[in-house]
Structure 1
Amino acid sequence: MLEALLGIALLLSTALSLFLVTLPSRYIAQKNVKETSKQTRPKTSVQVVVLGDIGRSPRMEYHALSIAKNGGLVDLIGVLDSDVHPQILQEPLINIVPISQSPSFLQTNNTLLVLFFAPLKALWQAFSLYYVLGYKCEPAQWMLLQNPPFIPTFTIASFVAFVRGSRLVLDWHNFGYSLFALKFGPSHPFVRLHRWYEFKGPKSAYAHFTVTNVMAKYLQSEADITAHPLHDRPPMHFQPLSPEQKAGFLSKFDITSKIAIGKSSNTRILVSSTSWTPDEDFSILLDALVAYSSRAKADSSLPSIIAIITGKGPQKEHYLSKIAELKKTDKLNRVEIHTAWLSIEDYALLLGSADLGVSLHMSSSGLDLPMKVVDMFGTGLPVVGWSDFEAWSELVQEGVNGKGFQDAQGLEKLLVGLFSDDGRQLEKLKAGAMKECDRRWDNEWNSVAGRVFGVVD
Structure 2
Amino acid sequence: MQYHAMSFAMEGFRVYLVGYRGSTPHEQVLKNEQITLHHMHEPPLFITKLPKLLGYAVKVIWQSVMLAWTLLLLPNMSSIFIQNPPSIPTMLISYIVSRIRFSTLVIDWHNYGYTILAMALRPGHPLVTFSKWYEKKCGGLASYNFCVTNAMKEDLLSQWNIRAITAHDKPSELFQTISLEQQHNLFCRLSKEYPVFASQDNAIDHTRFTQKNTDGAVAKVDGRPALLMSSTSWTEDEDFGLLLDALKKYDQLPSTDTFPDLVCVISGKGPQKIFYTQQIADYNWKKVKFCLPWLAAEDYPLMLGSADIGVCLHKSSSGLDLPMKVVDMFGCGLPVCAVNFQCIRELVHHDENGLLFHDSEELFTQLKDLLFRFPKMASRLKLYRENLASFQELRWHSQWRKIILPIFYKIGGIQMSAFDLPGFLEDDFDEEAKKEQ
Distance in 2 between residues matched to 1:219 and 1:335, nearest whole Å:
44
Alignment of 1:389-400 (within 5 A): 389-400=341-352
253, 259, 263: which one pairs with 2:209? Answer: 259
Question: Structure 1 residue 114: deviation in Å?
Answer: 5.7
User: In 2 relative to 1, CA 229–104 (structure 1 residues): closer, same or farther, beyond 3 Å?
Assistant: farther
Question: Structure 1 residue 120: deviation in Å?
Answer: 2.9
Task: Show the counterpart of 1:301.
Answer: 258
Q: Deviations over 1:300-347 (max 9, x none)?
A: 420011100111122222221222222xxx1x2111111111122211
Q: How many residues end up aligned between the 2 structures?
A: 388
Distance in 2 between residues matched to 1:123 and 1:317, nearest whole Å:
32
Task: Show the counterpart of 2:315.
Answer: 362
User: In 2 relative to 1, CA 107–333 (structure 1 residues): closer, same or farther, beyond 3 Å?
Assistant: farther
Task: Show the counterpart of 1:410.
Answer: 362
Determine helix, strand or coil for the equivalent of 1:302: coil
Determine helix, strand or coil for the equivalent of 2:298: helix
Coordinate RMSD, CA, aligned: 2.0
1:169 aligns with 2:106: yes
Distance in 2 between residues matched to 1:292 and 1:304, nearest whole Å:
9
Question: Structure 1 residue 271: deviation in Å?
Answer: 0.5
Note if contact 2:26-2:298 (Cα within 8 Å) is conserved in structure 1: no
Determine helix, strand or coil for the equivalent of 2:228: strand
434, 439, 443: which one pairs with 2:394? Answer: 439
Distance in 1 between residues matched to 2:324 and 2:378, nearest whole Å:
27
Question: Structure 1 residue 456: deviation in Å?
Answer: 11
312, 315, 336: which one pairs with 2:272? Answer: 315
386, 392, 405: which one pairs with 2:339? Answer: 386
Q: What is the TM-score with the length of structure 1 in the denominator? A: 0.81
Distance in 2 between residues matched to 1:363 and 1:282, nearest whole Å:
15
1:157 aligns with 2:94: yes
Note if contact 1:169-1:206 (Cα within 8 Å) is conserved in structure 2: yes
1:189 aligns with 2:139: no
Alignment of 1:238-257 (within 5 A): 238-254=175-191, 255-256=196-197, 257=207
Q: Which one has a larger percent helix, Structure 1 or Structure 2?
A: 1
Note if contact 2:170-2:327 (Cα within 8 Å) is conserved in structure 1: yes
Q: What amino acid is the match of 1:87?
A: Q
Q: Deviations over 1:149-173 (max 9, x none)?
A: 1011111111111111110000111
1:236 aligns with 2:170: no
Q: What amino acid is the match of 1:383?
A: V
Where relative contact order (Cα < 8 A, 6+ residues apart) is larger, the structure is: 2
Note if contact 1:380-1:435 (Cα within 8 Å) is conserved in structure 2: no
Question: Structure 1 residue 92: deviation in Å?
Answer: 1.1
Identity %: 39
Distance in 1 between residues matched to 2:169 and 2:259, nearest whole Å:
35
Question: Structure 1 residue 430: deviation in Å?
Answer: 1.6
Note if contact 1:248-1:260 (Cα within 8 Å) is conserved in structure 2: no
Q: What is the TM-score with the length of structure 2 in the denominator? A: 0.85
Q: Deviations over 1:217-237 (max 9, x none)?
A: 100000000001111111111
1:324 aligns with 2:281: yes
Question: Structure 1 residue 437: deviation in Å?
Answer: 1.1
Alignment of 1:18-417 (within 5 A): 60-103=1-44, 115=53, 117-135=55-73, 137-254=74-191, 255-256=196-197, 257-261=207-211, 262-263=220-221, 265-297=223-255, 299-326=256-283, 330=284, 332-387=285-340, 389-417=341-369
Query: Runs of 4+ in structure 1 displaced over 6 angstroms?
Result: none
Q: Gapped runs of 5+ residues in structure 1?
A: 1-59
Note if contact 2:330-2:391 (Cα within 8 Å) is conserved in structure 1: yes
Q: Gapped runs of 5+ residues in structure 2?
A: 198-206, 212-219, 413-437
